[in-house]
Structure formats: structure tokens, C-alpha cells
Chains A and B, each alone.
Chain A
Amino acid sequence: MSVTLNRIGLARDAYKGAATTLCAGCGHNSITNHTVKALYELGVEPHRLAKMSGIGCSSKTPAYFVETAHGFNGVHGRMPALTTGAQLANRQMIMLGVSGDGDTASIGLGQFMHMIRRNIDCTYIIEDNGTYGLTKGQFSATADLGSVQKKGAVNIFQPIDPCAVAITLGCSFVARSFSGDGKQVVPLLKAAIAHRGTAILDIISPCVTFNDHDGSTKSYSWVKDHEESIADVSFIPFFEEVHIDYEPGTIRDVELHDGSHILLKKLGDDHDPSDRIAAMRVIAEAREAGHLVTGLLYVDTSMADFATTENIPEGPLKDLGEDDLRLTREQFDQFISEFA
């Protein structure tokens, strides 16, 4: 059997990781597979990938893809801080963060928000199942009001919607999807990776063990019944030519920093992903109607990412040496003499 190699000569297997230790049927495993596909098809160099995560089921997944890449499975809710530091140390790295709903919307909400404010260049996947899996089924902060726990308890608190929060904060790329919808997740992931800035991808990812029952709004059946995609997403990487053979007016084309294109094919009402107010309205209306709206909600390709704002070199700061960093002997002596 012949093996298909990607543009940098790697087989898809080169993007695999260790065997998953998550439950069979876990949505996170699907997302891992989508991630492998996206990285393979993009031809990401494994040594340029940094897989970042916090704590929880979701945060274990960086072990399950691209085993040869570096990664950092840090502390609970603090992936954004580690990612920010690593990004500044080496702008050449592709930062791919994987978090969960507890990791992001509870313990890590502050860091999540501040990372967005700074527009750190990274992809931030939220594997969102509305529950704490590793600690056996407590509600998380993304659980919908009135949703029912496996043992019957009803959630009485308003949910935190990571996409709504992100858009409010001026996030430069916000999308929602469903782990079972690879056709949507893969192009969104590729677009998020190509995007320069913080790209939030809230992926509903059912927990088969603790949150896949009737009364849950994060179960496979609920999501399948209620998902409403705002547009068909396809992604054309910078190394492929764009062929648009759709009827005029049915397609939106978003060009990213690296020359890649996101093509959005209108499904129902036309959604303009560069319109922040419209994005907020789409989310609010879907919530009122009891739907799960998925797709690219908002994108702003004009916003400078943090490293650009900070005006640090394109090359890694980590590689600078004594000559770049120390004062010269003359500068030093002059400076010290000013303290006399």
C-alpha cells in the first residue's frame, strides 16, 4: 500500500501520538483525529509545533498527537500564561493550546480573557463537554441552565459561553463546532492555525461517561438535533491555488496573513464574519431559540498579534546571545559612571 506524503514529505502517521487513555467514544478523541488530519494536510513541521495544555481530560490530549513535537501539559487553567511566555521566547513556533470547559471557563477564565486581550498568536481549542470528567461528573461553567446531571441534579446557574466572552473582548478569531463534525472542525482548525492572533475554537465534545444522557445539552444526540451551521467552511492553504466555482454572492472569502483563504458558503441567513455585532446577535439568537450555532462566528485579520505589538524580532528571542543582550563595555562603564 502506498503512503501519501504531505508537502513536507511526512506521512499522516508522523502526526500521531501515544494511544489515548480517554474513554472509548469520547469526543476529545475525535478532535485529536481532526487535529492530526489538519496538521498533516497543512504540512506543519513537527519541530515547530508546541502543544500546550492545562489540566483535565482535554489537557491530556496533546500526548495523543504529533508525538515528536514539544508540548507542555502545565497546571490547571494556566495554559494561556505558559503559551504567552513560550510565544514571546520563540515567535517561530506554532502554538496549539488544548483546554477544556473547566480549564477555560472556571479556573482559567482570567487567563483566557487576558490572552484574548493581548491577541497572543495561538490556536486555543476548548474541548467543551459541560462537565468535569476526571473528577467524575460535576457541572462545569459552560453547562446550560436547566441541563441535567447524570444523577439527576439540575444546573441552576447561567452558562459562560466562551465564544460570547471572546467576541466581547475583541478576540480576532472565534469559531464554534462539534467534535462529530469533522468536515467543519478540520477547516476551522486549519484556519485557526493559519490565523495570526488568538483563535478560539469552542468545540462541543460530548463526555460519553458523565454527560451523554437525556436532559444534557452537551450530548451527542442533543448536539446532532440542535446544531445549526451558519456557513459551510472550507480552507485553502497558501500553498494551493484558489478555485472558486460557486455562484457569485453565495460565497465569502476571508484572506489570512499567510495568503491562505477561508471560504464560507452561505447556508441560511448570510452571516458576515467581520461584523462583531452580528456575531454577538447570532450567538444570542441561537441561545434564545435553543440551538447550537456552529461555524466561523467572527474573524478580524487586521489586528496585530502581541509579539508584533511588542515589536520584538521575527527571529526567536531565545537565540540571542551575549552580543545582542549585554551592554557593551563602553555603554556599561558610561552607565555606571552616571551613578557616581
Chain B
Amino acid sequence: MTEPIVNELTIQAATVNGSGSQTANLVLTRAIFKMGIPVAPKNVFPSNIEGLPTWYQLRITPHAHMARTDQVDVLVAFNATTWREDLRSVRPGGVVIHEEAYSTADARTDLTYYPVPFSKLAKAKIQSDTLRKQLANMIYVGVVAGLLGVPWEALEHGVKRQFLSKPKAVQVNLDAIKVGLDYWQDHFSKTDPYRLEPMTGAVDGKVLVEGNQAAALGALMGGVTVVAWYPITPSSSLCEYLIAYTERFRTDPKTGEKRIAIVQAEDELAAVGMAIGAGWAGARAMTSTSGPGISLMAEFAGLGYYAEVPVVIFDIQRIGPSTGLPTRTSQADVGFAYTLSHGDTKHIVLLPGTVEECYEFARDAFDYADRFQTPVFVLSDLDLGMNLWMAPAFHYPEKPFDRGKVLTKDDLDRLAGDWGRYRDVDGDGVPFRTIPGTDHPAAGYLTRGSGHDENARYTENAESYARNMDRLARKFETARQALPPPLTDETHKSPVGLIAFGSTHAAVLEARELLAAAGRRVDYMRVRALPLSAEVAAFVSRHDRVYVVEQNRDGQVFDLIRLALPVDLVGRLHSIRHYDGQPIPAAAITEPLLQAEAVPT
């Protein structure tokens, strides 16, 4: 037996969509996390209800590398259709647990095979006809637990945590796991190097949470009261979590009265329209969607910008163009969202890079929307939104809501009614607003998407138009300075820098470790909002070569940064792009970077 490989391996479960495999995967994930070992799961699922192949990658990672990896150490082959293809994905020396019936006649000889008669076991050992299909997946959890040495207590925790709301299901699932575990113990002796050992300290104070769960919680803590949405993958779960959390935290247990309205709209046009209507009427309002929905929201986004209505729009990005791959990730909406709608429209875009930031930015987006009286986009993605991520426990907000410049009845009395909705009183481009329902004769005005003057009256006057557009630009500059600044690590004082944003962060962190190990230390800036901070150009000026890493084909943020740079710095900027729909692995950064750095520029 070769040198043991402890706690550093990737399990890939190849299963059939709709068969209940995800529950088994999550039980295994939670059990290993319970052992104190960091985990980074990635679910690769089809746009399908039942029958198509699906894969679950569980990276077990003592150094808490959260990015996807291309290396599969342990394959759980549970899908006859993809059996041959799945075998090819395993690294040399890896392990294959597979249904005994699959032929290994001409299979690779550099792997260790553990054939298990899953179907026969399920038929013989699982009594319930209705649950057999689902519970069969649990058998493989038992086999993997045997293979790697996952303690029974951890498995128990995993099952209980997964079935929090269905405690009756705990025992049957544990029984099925036991079937797999017993089979392992009765039939195999270990000949491979992989095993797990409990760790201490690595996951203390950590949680496992999906970005969409974090964003839903953030929205609640940010005080959202009107939500309008239209179902679309990978965004739907955000609003579904909101609905679930609302039942628990925003519903009067006696009367059933809800301190929030959540509307499933007829389409994304209506969804964002309702949110803008609610934002106009003074509520904290949001919608959540993905690329195709963002396309439909273009019209209303321009109204929100020009009429200056606060609203929060979540875009959980999937890969386009058009319908694209609905269940695959990307960062390819960022350029579009930034200038969504015709005319000179520009938006505030928040770019959470971690699940903590999904929580924080979702919460704070409502403050930004109110402060700047404009749509605020929060661009997450499928990888961040739908996968579980290990993260530090979230913090309770210490600040009250920031409702921005709102004039009340008393304010209007004090001003003797002398105010104008679009006047720039403070020189920061941010006007004052009154909220419908304010009981003062001077409060009312007609909001419109057509030309308007400082007092919100209709105008086609050239100077008025230009003056208003200049003020909007000024407001955008004020926002630029108030948004979450980029985070920078220049401890290496390297001539080479990386710039990234969003979920690419995880791969960059790992890539920097790999590069450092290869003698190439690189600095790092993570952009967290658009419009770009002035610090981005400053970072470029301090480095000879800067690589912008992003998950889209065209280098959209690379382009935005180039536009923001003085001409003499533009040549320092390079682009690394990953766009196959799978979350970016560290290798997709290190390989092109090392290649580029090998050739003197």
C-alpha cells in the first residue's frame, strides 16, 4: 500500500437526476464536515426533472480550498449511462465504487475497484417499495463511509441535520447507510491510500451555507417587505428560501399575518415592475432572477434609473447567451447589467465573492438603493448561489436601516413646502424625495420616465434635460466612493497582480498558493462593486503586469477596467477567462498565468 492520503481528496458521485441522490450527497457532506474537515461541494446538475445524468463533487480539503478541482480521487459510479465517461475522469491511482453489474472487462487497470451490488442490496434489505429508489443512494454513503473511515456518530449527525424537518425519516436512512457500511466491512479489505481523520480547529465557528440562503437572510435583515419574482434557475431558491424564512420569522403565529408580501409574478417584466412600484411607494423591495430575466427587466431598469426609484435586483448568473446552459455558472451578465436599458443608463452593481458577502451585500443593497434612489444589482452566480460553501458564521447587523434623503411632513413644514424632487441641494447629485402618503400638500409630484425638470415637471427643454443627466452622473460618482471598496493583498510586493471578482475568488486564493509554491508570488485585488473604485487604477499602476480573471468569454470586467485606466497603464492589463459553465478551478488561472509569465512581455 502506498503512502496514505489523509483528508485531501475529491469524491465524485455520478448519479441519475431525480433519484434522490442529492440527499445522500448532502448527508455525506455534513458527516465529513462534522468530523471537523473542511468540505467544498459542487453540484453539477442538468436542466431536467428526472433521468439525465448528474454529478456531485465533494472536495475534502484540509486547507479549505473552496474552488472546484478537475481531479477526481474517488468515483461513486451509480449511473450506467455515464459509466465509461465517468471512469475516464478519475486520476491515476484513484478509487472506483461501482454497481457490481457494470462491466469492468476492458476498464482502466490503474484504478482500485470496489464493486457493490447496490440493486440487489436495495431489493433485499430495503423493505419500503416507495422509498427503495431514494434509499438505495444511502447505501453508497455507507460504502464510502466504510472506505474512508467516517465514524457512525458523524453519519448520524449528517442524517439528522439533513432531515431536520422530517425526524421520522432519520431511522430508515440510517438503516440504509448501515447496509452499505456492513457490506463494505464484510466484503472488502482496503487496498487504496485514501482515508479521513477527524481534525480540530479547521471548521470551528464555520457554517455550511448556500449563497442564495445567505442572500435571502440578508434581504430579511435588510428589511425587505415587498418581493416579486418569477421562477428561474438558478435564482428560484433565493425567493423560495425567503418564503420559508418568512413563515418562520415574519409571520404572526396567531393571526398568520405576514410582515412581507411575496408575489410570484407572471413574468420578469412584471416582477421588477412590482418591485419598482413598491420601492416608489416607500417599501424596501426586491426581485431576483437570472440572465433571461435580466434581459426582460431592461425596460424597467431604465425607468428605475431615470425616475430614481430604489429597488434591489438579484441576478444569480447562469451561462448564456439566450437560454444557454440553465444549470451552469458564469459571470457573463456583469457588463450587460451595468448599463442595463437604453439611453445613458448606468447602475450600481454589487459583486459578492463569498457567501458572507451574499448575506452582507443583500442586506446592505437596500441601504444603497435608498441612499442613491436607484436600482442596485447584486450579481451572484449559480456556483455561489446554489452550492454549499464553508464560511464564518454571519454577524448580526449593528447599524439601523439607512433610508436616505427622505422628506417627512415635518421637513416640508419647515421648508414651507419649498423643495424639488430632482434638485441637487447638497451638490452630491442625490436629491430628496417624499414618499407617497406623506400628508402635506407640497409632498406630491408625478414621477415619470419622460423628461423632467428639477421640480419633476414634464419638460423637453434641452438645458433641463442635460442638467438632469449631469446630476445623475454626479450621483453615480458619489456612489462610486460609497460602495464596498476593493480588497487588496499586496503583501508579496510582486510585480504581478491578479484582479478578480465574485465567485472566482475561491480559485484565485488557491491559485496564489500554488503560484507561491512554484516561486511566483502574486498580489491580488478583489473588486466588489461597480462603478469601479479609483483604487483599481492605482493597483494597476503599482504592478507591471495585472491579470484580470473572470468567468466569461469576452473579458467584460477586463474591458471595464481598461476603459477606466490612463492610456499608459492599459498595456499592463491582461485577461484570463474561463467560460465552460463549470466553476473555475485554480488550474485555469495558474496555467495561463505561468505560460504568459514564461514569455517576457
- Report whether A310 and B258 are in contact in the complex, using a CB–CB cutoff of 8 Å: yes
Chain A nearest CB, measured from B544 CB (Å)? 43
**In the assembled complex, B64 has its CB within 8 A of some CB on chain A:** no
In the complex, A82→B280 CA distance in Å? 9
A317 touches B446 (CB 8 A): no
* B164-A50 in contact (CB<8A): no
Interchain CB contact (< 8 A) of B449 among A73, A111, A118: A73
Specify which of B207, B213, B220, B275 is in contact with A326 (CB 8 Å cutoff). Answer: B220
- Whether the Cβ atoms of B285 and A89 lie closer than 8 Å is yes
Q: Do A71 and B447 form a contact, CB below 8 Å, given A85-B276, A90-B437?
A: yes
Stretch in B2-10, B51-59, B395-403, B470-478 touching the partner: B395-403
A50 to chain B, nearest CB (A): 5
Chain B residues lying within 8 Å of A48, measured Cβ to Cβ, are 437
Residues in A neighbouring B536, C-beta threshold 8 A: none
How near does chain A come to B130, taking the closest CB pair, in angstroms? 29
- Residues in chain B near residue A46, CB distance under 8 A: 441, 444
**Using an 8 Å CB-CB cutoff, how does the interface string of A52-76 with B read, 1 for contact, 0 for none?**
1000000000110011111111110
Of residues 300 to 340 in A, which have CB atoms within 8 Å of B's CB atoms?
A: 307, 310-313, 316-322, 324-327, 329, 331-333, 335-340
Interface code A72-88, partner B: CB below 8 Å = 1, 0 otherwise? 11110010111111111
Question: B267 contacts the other chain (Cβ, under 8 Å)?
Answer: yes
Q: Identify A71's interface contact among B221, B224, B274, B444, CB under 8 A.
A: B444
Cβ contact within 8 Å between A85 and B285: yes
A339 and B303 form a contact (CB under 8 A): no
B282, A75: Cβ atoms closer than 8 Å: no
Report the nearest A residue to B210, measured CB to CB. Answer: A339
The verdict on A326 contacting B281 (CB below 8 Å), with A85-B226, A340-B206 known, is: no
Q: Is there a chain A Cβ closer than 8 Å to B436's Cβ? A: yes
A51 CB within 8 Å of chain B: yes
**In the bound complex, how far is the Cα of B267 from the Cα of A118, in angstroms?**
14
State whether A75 and B261 are in contact (beta carbons under 8 Å apart), knowing that A85-B228, A326-B223 are contacts in the complex: no
**Is B428 interfacial (CB-CB < 8 Å)?**
no
Closest chain-A Cβ to B244's Cβ sits at a distance in Å of 11
Return chain B residues, CB-CB under 8 Å to A319. 282
The verdict on B232 contacting chain A, using a C-beta distance below 8 Å, is: no
* Chain B residues closer than 8 Å to A326, beta-carbon distance: 220-221, 223, 397
How many angstroms between the C-alpha atoms of A93 and B283 in the bound complex?
13
Task: Identify the closest chain B residue to A70 (Cβ).
Answer: B436
- Residues of A155-181 at the interface with B, using a CB-CB cut-off of 8 Å, are none
Q: Is A114 engaged at the interface, CB distance under 8 Å to the other chain?
A: yes
Contact A81 B396 (CB under 8 A): no
Q: Which residue of A lies closest to B400 (CB)?
A: A322
Q: In the complex, what residues of A have CB within 8 A of residue B437's CB? A: 47-48, 70, 90, 92-93, 316, 318
Please measure, in the bound complex, the distance between the C-alpha atom of A56 and the C-alpha atom of B217, giving whole angstroms.
Answer: 41
Pair B277/A75 contact, Cβ less than 8 Å: no
Contact present for A74 and B273 (CB under 8 Å) = yes
Q: Which of B259, B441, B446 is close to A72, meaning CB atoms less than 8 Å apart?
A: B446
| Cross-chain contact A86 with B436 (CB below 8 angstroms) | yes
Cβ contact within 8 Å between A327 and B258: no
The one of B257, B273, B436, B450 in contact with A78, judged by C-beta atoms closer than 8 angstroms, is B273
Q: Which residue of A lies closest to B437 (CB)?
A: A90
Q: How far is the CA of A248 from the CA of B207 in the complex (A)?
A: 74
Which residue on chain B has the smallest CB distance to residue A327?
B249
Whether B422 is near chain A, meaning CB under 8 Å from some CB there, is no
Does B435 sit within 8 A of A, measured CB to CB?
Answer: yes
CB of B225 within 8 Å of the partner chain? yes
A9 at the interface (CB under 8 A from B): no
| Contact flags B277-311 to A (C-beta < 8 A → 1, else 0) | 11111110100000000000001100100010000
- Decide if B394 touches A336 in the complex (CB within 8 Å): yes
Number of interface residues of A (CB under 8 A): 64
Closest residue on chain B to residue A117 by CB atoms: B266
Q: Assess whether A259 is interfacial by the CB under 8 Å rule.
A: no
**Is there contact, CB below 8 Å, between B397 and A73?**
no
Residue B549 at the chain A interface, CB threshold 8 Å: no
B277, A90: Cβ atoms closer than 8 Å:
no
Which residues in A have their C-beta under 8 angstroms from that of B440? 47
Q: Does B263 contact A (CB under 8 A)?
A: yes
| Residues in B409-459 with C-beta less than 8 Å from chain A | 434-450, 457-458
Choose among B256, B281, B299, B396 the residue that contacts A329 (Cβ–Cβ < 8 A): B396
Question: How many Å from the CB of B236 to the closest CB on chain A?
Answer: 19
Choose one: A18, A67, A110, A339; the contact of B444 (CB below 8 Å). A67
B370 to chain A, nearest CB (A): 11
Instruction: Return chain A residues, CB-CB under 8 Å to B275.
Output: 85
Min Cβ gap A216→B in Å is 29
Residue of A nearest to B285 (CB): A85
B441 near A90: Cβ-Cβ < 8 Å: no
What chain B residues lie within 8 Å of A75 (beta carbons)?
A: 273, 299-300, 303, 449
Expressed in whole angstroms, the Cα–Cα distance for A336 and B214 within the complex equals 10
- In the bound complex, CA of A82 to CA of B396 (Å): 33
A340 with B393, Cβ < 8 A, contacts A86-B436, A327-B220 known:
yes
Best-surrounded residue of B224, B259, B442 (most CB of chain A within 10 A)? B259
Q: Known contacts A70-B445, A312-B261, A332-B396; decide if A83 and B250 are in contact (CB<8 Å).
A: no
Contact pick for B258, options A93, A312, A337, CB 8 Å: A312
Residues of B within 8 A of A90 (CB): 281-283, 436-437
User: Which residues on the A side are within 8 Å of B448 (C-beta)?
Assistant: 72-74
Say yes or no: is B260 at the interface (Cβ < 8 Å to chain A).
yes
Residues of chain A within 8 A (CB-CB) of B278 are 85-86, 88-89, 317-318
Question: Taking the complex as formed, is B209 at the interface, i.e. its CB lies under 8 A from any CB of chain A?
Answer: yes
> Which A residues touch B279, using CB under 8 A?
85, 89
Contact bitstring B225-267, A, C-beta under 8 A = 1, else 0: 1101000000000000000000001100001111111010111
Q: A80-B270, A322-B223 are in contact. Are A317 and B277 (CB under 8 A)?
A: no
Interface string of B375-418 (1 = CB under 8 A from A): 00000000000000000011011001100000000000000000
- Given A85-B273, A111-B270, answer yes or no on A69-B444 (Cβ-Cβ < 8 Å): yes
Kindly state the separation between the CA atoms of A325 and B303 in the bound complex, as whole angstroms: 28
Contact with B along A257-296 (1 / 0, CB 8 A): 0000000000000000000000000000000000000000
A81 B274 Cβ-Cβ under 8 A: yes
| Residue numbers in B under 8 Å from A69 (CB-CB) | 444
The one of B225, B263, B299, B458 that contacts A320, using a Cβ cutoff of 8 Å: B225
Complex Cα distance A114/B228, Å? 13
Residues of A within 8 A of B283 (CB): 85, 88-90, 316-318
- Residues of A within 8 Å of B263, CB to CB, are 84, 88, 118, 310
Given pairs A63-B446, A85-B283, 12 additional interface contacts (CB within 8 A): A45-B439, A46-B441, A47-B439, A51-B446, A68-B444, A84-B277, A111-B273, A317-B226, A320-B225, A320-B259, A321-B223, A332-B221
- Nearest first, the 5 A-B pairs at minimum CB distance are A81-B273, A85-B277, A89-B283, A318-B282, A85-B278
Interface residue ranges, B against A (CB under 8 Å): 164, 206-209, 213, 217, 220-221, 223-226, 228, 249-250, 255-261, 263, 265-267, 269-283, 285, 299-300, 303, 307, 393-394, 396-397, 400-401, 434-450, 457-458
28 intermolecular pairs with C-beta atoms under 8 Å apart: A47-B437, A47-B444, A70-B434, A70-B445, A72-B446, A74-B303, A75-B300, A78-B270, A78-B299, A78-B300, A82-B280, A87-B277, A87-B281, A88-B278, A89-B225, A90-B436, A110-B266, A111-B266, A312-B258, A318-B282, A318-B437, A320-B259, A321-B223, A322-B223, A325-B259, A326-B397, A332-B221, A332-B396
